[in-house]
Structure 1
Amino acid sequence: MEKVPTRLNVAPVPPDEIFALNGAFFADTHPQKVSLGVGVYRTDDGKPWPLPAVEKAEKQLAEENDLMRHEYTAIEGDVPFLKIARDLMFGFEGKASEEAAKARIASVQTVAGTGANHLGALFLAHHMKPRNVWLSNPSWANHMTIWELAGVPRKTYPYYHAATRSFDFDGMMSTLENDAEEGDVVLLHACAHNPTGLDPNKEQWIAIADLCERKKLFPFFDSAYQGFASGSLEEDAWAVRYFFDNKPDMEMCVAQSFSKNMGLYGQRTGAFHYITNRSATSIRDVVVNNLCHLIRGEFSMGPRIGCTIVKKIMSSEELTADWHNDLQVMSSRIKSMREALYNELVRLKTPGTWEHIVEQNGMFSYTGLTPKQVYALKDKYHVYLLKSGRASISGLSQKNVAYVALAIDDVVRNVL
């Protein structure tokens, strides 16, 4: 058969490491296999955990049998949901200037946190045209892809100090001070930095905010773990709220996800918030209008079911209290697994220092293991984590943590 030439100019794209690793894990038949790759919450039995508050909300919604439950929403999304998401992120309770503060925020619904990051990148690329976006080194791998597709040149600032396994605050500040230009975007993880689990402290966040204001940089917050990281919605939103409350003449934006904190991974529930400066609130509706233009041409409107669950929970004092308890359950289990792994490594006298495991925060730990050690863990012990050494702590349990520690101890001692 004669070959028909194609008009396409395509080359293979490397597979996504996380999903490829997850596929290899599911194909593995070893009885002691352990998945420390994908960032999803698991119970101590290694099972998914639909949040009890979410299950109650789903039951109530099913009983209500709303005939509109599968209908279209508005292009900007479900408006009551957007108000809930905004208030959860920025925390207006008891503030005298609440209405003036809310007037600064243009909000739209997105296809989860990834969609919020993408929409924000696309909007800024079209309407602000930044020379560069600055990403932490390392960062969530999808940040690089999102900004590449938006056509904005990517640069990185130091974030992880490998020798001490700590946050490289001095390196970050020095690089942004010396190399970032007015109008550049700086992507910041609001809490539970992915992949390192290392966050600035409050004094450092204040210094970062001052630098962004002085150099006229544009902060872009990615908030994927509010409430999940510490168990406190307020604590995990502290950085975002500090920038918003204390730098009213600085514009910024926030990508918000409900995947982790409500366990709505597959429902793709998120929001994007653009914050004007306090003298430019008149453009808020125009910002929403332009965001809707991008949304209409791409996915028309956000998914309905996830945001309906969020509304049901947040409009009920009982369900909200249940959800706060669910956050405590998840964050507490993650912290206990960090301590259990650390204690096992100390008991085994595993070479090196391991305090960083308990000092880090949120779902992930940057373990310090080398790619060769990571491959050895998979090949010899069927323990799966990213080649960077990033481990999803949620994959640990009382049943497997000793096994994982023994495996780490072996590869640290024997694989250089």
Structure 2
Amino acid sequence: MSKFNSVSLGPPIEVFELNRAYNEDTFKNKVNLGVGAYRTENGEPWVLPVVRQAEKALANDESLNKEYLPVLGLEAFTKAASLLLLGANSSAIKENRVFGIQSLSGTGCLKIGAEFLHSQLGCSVVYYPKPTWENHKLLFRNTGYTELREYRYWSDKNRGLDIKGFLEDLNQAPENAVIILHAVAHNPTGCDPTEEEWAQIADVMEARKLFCFFDCAYQGFSSGDIDKDAKAVRYFESRGFEMFIAQSFAKNFGLYNERVGNLTVVVKDNALIPHLKSQFTLNIRGMYSNPPSHGARIIAYILNNVDLCEQWKNNVKTMADRLIQMRKELRGALERLRAPGNWEHITNQIGMFSYTGLDEAQSEYMVKKHHIYMLKSGRMSMAGLTSKNVEYVASAVVDTLTAKI
């Protein structure tokens, strides 16, 4: 008898299972609105032109080698990434109260941040929005957090932010609880707090002595403006919060499979930074030892070159503008076809995803009847829409809403 007989079959990861089913589907008009990755107007992946340029330059640089990076990563990358996030006017940067740690994309940042808070500060309670990116719960649970709690975020009734419920739940959180906040372009709802609401959130977190852990996966994807999309994080920094920010460069650099992330750490006293770095080093050494270099070198090369950085910002704006245009076209098609209900939320939401309002049964009907692949939650990736398929998707939504399911 095998020692592994007791191992049960785990449930499939929905988004990857959905992508597999889409790839195996032979239906001519199938549409993939599940995967969170940018697609062109032709429905194809896009390697950013500035990334191609950087890769060619790096490939021809004979001074580069394949030696190990330091445990905390490539400093040229981490410094540039933290600066991109916090901005040149950041008091924390000017006062040397910031450092970055290269990790395995945003997921890795969340993991090493969760490990540090658990092992060094004894944190065991974490709050994340309802709904949120599915990996938030998994990461913190697997790290040993015993209290995994949700705070109210989305209002089905209003198809927008439930700020009242949000603040009430934060007010009930125990001191030192870790609060996961989406920095911009909330996944899956595409709904962010206003500046006034961010101020209210900060007030409660400050009063309750809660720890702020931002997840920033979409800087640039909301508005096409890198600085505008960093406003929430910069506001919290300006108020003197100590915090962690998980930065992912999968989306805004199109480096999905390079797994490049930066954990930006903001502290009040820079004398403590060597202590923190030493403990992060020990934690990371026991996990994956040190990070890969290729993706980090690409980003460092671009961000540390004025001309290339401007080209990159233009590339990001190209992606953001297309997503905004697809929102307009989808809403327009739904209204033209007289889809039941109000569809203002499609264009009010931002970023890669739209929380459509379709329920689980309706979302599954979209997949089975119309071959339009989307999550059971009703989340659609705007990147999967094109001017060629948006009418088909809109008509499928109309059929779904009027069908007897």
Q: TM above 0.5, one fold?
A: yes
1:173 to 167, 172, 176: 167
Matches within 5 A, 1:15-414: 15-68=12-65, 70-93=66-89, 98-100=93-95, 103-152=96-145, 153-177=147-171, 179-246=172-239, 248=240, 250-277=241-268, 280-414=269-403
What's the offset of the Cα at 1:98? 4.6
Distance 1:135 1:23 in 2: 28
Shift in alpha-carbon separation, 1:413–1:96, aligned structure 2, 3 A? closer
Paired letter, 2:334 = L
Q: How many residues align?
A: 404
What's the offset of the Cα at 1:382? 0.4
Shift in alpha-carbon separation, 1:116–1:306, aligned structure 2, 3 A? same
What's the offset of the Cα at 1:314? 1.3
What's the offset of the Cα at 1:221? 0.2
Cα displacement string for residues 61-94 of structure 1 (whole angstroms, at most 9, x for unaligned residues): 12224441x221101100111110111111124x
Report the 3-state secondary structure (helix = DSSP H, G, I; strand = E; otherwise coil) of the residue aligned with 1:273. Answer: strand
Paired letter, 1:273 = T
Report the 3-state secondary structure (helix = DSSP H, G, I; strand = E; otherwise coil) of the residue aligned with 1:298. Answer: coil
Which segments of 5 or more consecutive residues in structure 2 lack a partner in the other structure? none
Shift in alpha-carbon separation, 1:300–1:168, aligned structure 2, 3 A? same
Matched-pair identity in %: 41
What's the offset of the Cα at 1:399? 0.7
What's the offset of the Cα at 1:104? 1.7
Cα displacement string for residues 264-285 of structure 1 (whole angstroms, at most 9, x for unaligned residues): 00000011122222xx321111
Distance 1:146 1:97 in 2: 28
What's the offset of the Cα at 1:11? 2.7
Q: Which residue of 2 aligns with 1:11?
A: 8
Distance 1:10 1:142 in 2: 22
What's the offset of the Cα at 1:13? 2.1
Is contact 2:33-2:381 (8 Å) kept? yes
Is contact 1:231-1:332 (8 Å) kept? yes
What's the offset of the Cα at 1:294? 1.0
Paired letter, 1:49 = W
Distance 2:5 2:248 in 1: 35
Distance 2:5 2:306 in 1: 55
Q: Which moved more, 1:311-320 or 1:235-244?
A: 311-320
Paired letter, 2:148 = R
Q: Which moved more, 1:387-396 or 1:84-93?
A: 84-93
Shift in alpha-carbon separation, 1:148–1:365, aligned structure 2, 3 A? same
CA root-mean-square deviation: 1.4
Which segments of 5 or more consecutive residues in structure 1 lack a partner in the other structure? none
Distance 1:98 1:271 in 2: 15
Paired letter, 1:270 = G
Paired letter, 1:258 = F
Distance 2:286 2:222 in 1: 35
Cα displacement string for residues 270-323 of structure 1 (whole angstroms, at most 9, x for unaligned residues): 11122222xx32111111111111111111111100010001111222211111
Is contact 1:111-1:270 (8 Å) kept? yes
TM-score of the superposed pair, with normalisation by structure 2: 0.97
What's the offset of the Cα at 1:9? 4.8
Distance 1:348 1:5 in 2: 59
Distance 2:111 2:393 in 1: 36
Distance 2:276 2:207 in 1: 25
Distance 2:101 2:246 in 1: 10
Distance 2:388 2:4 in 1: 54
Report the 3-state secondary structure (helix = DSSP H, G, I; strand = E; otherwise coil) of the residue aligned with 1:49. Answer: coil
Distance 1:37 1:336 in 2: 19
Paired letter, 2:267 = T
Distance 1:114 1:38 in 2: 16
Distance 1:211 1:12 in 2: 42
Shift in alpha-carbon separation, 1:257–1:140, aligned structure 2, 3 A? same
Is contact 1:373-1:415 (8 Å) kept? no
Is contact 1:110-1:270 (8 Å) kept? yes
Is contact 2:183-2:215 (8 Å) kept? yes
Is contact 1:372-1:415 (8 Å) kept? no
